[in-house]
Amino acid sequence: MAPSDDDLFGAEHVRVYRDTSGERGYHWRGTTILLLTTQGHRSGEPRTTPLIHRTDGDRWVVVASKGGAPQHPSWFENLSANPEATIQVRGEVVPVRATTAEGDERDRLWSLMTEAWPAYDEYQARTQREIPVVVLSRR
């Protein structure tokens, strides 16, 4: 029996997603995944992370939750240093620029993302930091 895509995690998720152009790994645990590739803010090396996403018009939205940890995820720190990145959505690779949603826009997009992954509300309750909602716009 083949392993479920729901069991994919981290580097294996990235490998399978890339190898199949998202045929495997795009649908995961009832939601959808994109691959975000940033430039490491210390190393300068490319770093790829699978992330739950939703679209908002022609933009993609992701959440820098790190499961409610007290610190931001590395990929968010990388985008803070250099907001230019690439995403892979299924078989399409897109150059993007990241911004962090604020105010009413953040509230609206947070609702969109908690519909996709209700655990984000639990993650927010675990941490003192406001979890960033990141908007990825085509460059």
Mean pLDDT, range 62-69, rounded to an integer: 98
Whole-angstrom distance, CA of residue 58 vs CA of residue 114: 19
Using pLDDT thresholds of 50, 70 and 90, give the confidence band for residue 104.
very high
Structure tokens at 29: 């645990």
Q: Where does the pLDDT of residue 3 fall: very low under 50, low under 70, confident under 90, or very high at 90 and above? A: low
Domain 5-138: assigned CATH number: 2.30.110.10
Domain segments of the chain as ranges: 5-138
Identity of residue 83: P
Q: For position 114, what pLDDT does the model report?
A: 98
Helix and strand totals (H; E) in the chain: 4, 8
Provide the terminal-to-terminal Cα distance of the chain, rounded to the nearest Å. Answer: 41
Task: Indicate the DSSP class of residue 53.
Answer: -
Average per-residue pLDDT in the chain? 95
* pLDDT of 75 higher than 70: yes
Q: Which residues contact 124 (CB under 8 A, 6 or more apart)?
A: 65, 68, 130, 131
Which has more pLDDT, 2 or 21? 21
